[in-house]
Amino acid sequence: MATRELTDADFEKTVRENDIVLVDFWAAWCGPCRQFAPIFEAASGEHPDIVFGKVDTEAQRRTAAAAQITSIPTLIAFREGILVFAQPGALPATGLAQVIAGVKGLDMAQVHAEMAKQREVFDKPREITQDDLVTALAEDGTVLVDVREPMEYRAGHVPGAQLMPLGRLGDTVDELPTDRRVLVICQSGKRSLTATDALRQRGIEAYSVAGGTSAWAEAGRQIVTGPYAAPTD
């Protein structure tokens, strides 16, 4: 099957109505795009059961924006209408073959279950109140994550809060449980909302503490100060 030019008008319909859709986001002026094009075209002939679509990011700006394309070429794969792979850069033929094999080998029952869990989490409120935090801390097994910087944490934090700076959250997220909720706190409640959204995208039931550590301290509640030992790499 030859590659197919997709447009703003038929992109969503194509993804929705086909089992596997691979999409190459490209532009005529892009050298790496021109290098990847014959590799993508050759693979389309080897896999007639897959739709190989191409989106010209200059002509189909709405689709490119919706897909959050910031670099080209970018390869995106859908399976049963679900985005299952996205990577910028021109892949060699062997790399593309590995992507195709990986997409075909997915356990879609598990993927759909994970998506359902994620939707359930996102439907819940993103924040809890200070009183909710007091109640939670009285319970065993509460996980409270402080996403401020080490200096802020050392100056004063809620008892029991473990430091996971927002900038390093991607490196430490695997340390967090996925079988119970995680509470997230910062100074005022802004950074913790950002962290909450990021954790929910990873399937973690996270909640931001409204008002943050500032509101906790202003209410006269206990603040812990002291040295902090930076994690070793």
Architecture of the domain spanning 4-106: 3-Layer(aba) Sandwich (3.40)
User: Given the DSSP bridges, would you call strands 206-209 and 127-128 parallel, antiparallel or unpaired?
Assistant: parallel
Burial degree of 172 (CB within 10 A; 0-12, 13-18, 19+) = middle
Contact assessment for residue 33 and residue 72, using Cβ atoms and an 8 Å cutoff: yes
- The confidence score (pLDDT) of residue 227 equals 62
CATH 3.40.30.10 residue ranges of the chain are 4-106
Distance CA 29, CA 18 (A): 30
Share of the chain above pLDDT 90, in %: 78
Range(s) of the chain covered by CATH 3.40.250.10 = 120-218
84 and 106 in contact (C-beta within 8 Å)?
Answer: yes
Cβ burial of 8 (10 Å; 0-12, 13-18, 19+) is: middle
CATH architecture assigned to 120-218 = 3-Layer(aba) Sandwich (3.40)
Q: pTM for the full model?
A: 0.59
- The pLDDT tens digits of the residues spanning 111-142 come to 888 777 766 666 778 899 999 999 999 988 88
Q: How far is CA 86 from the centre of its chain?
A: 11
Using CA atoms, how far apart are residues 161 and 216, in angstroms rounded to an integer?
Answer: 12
Rounded Cα distance, 226 and 133, in Å: 22
| Sign (positive or negative) of CA dihedral 117, 119, 120, 124 | positive
Which of 6-10, 112-116, 185-189, 215-219 comes out lowest in average pLDDT? 112-116
pLDDT digits (tens, 9 = 90+) for 62-94: 999 999 999 999 999 999 999 999 999 999 999
**What are the residue numbers of the active site?**
30, 33
Say how far apart CA 33 and CA 171 lie, in whole Å: 31
| Range from 74-78, 209-213, 224-228 carrying the lowest mean pLDDT | 224-228
pLDDT tens profile 129-180: 999 999 999 988 889 999 999 999 999 999 999 999 999 998 888 899 888 8
Region 198-219 average pLDDT: 93
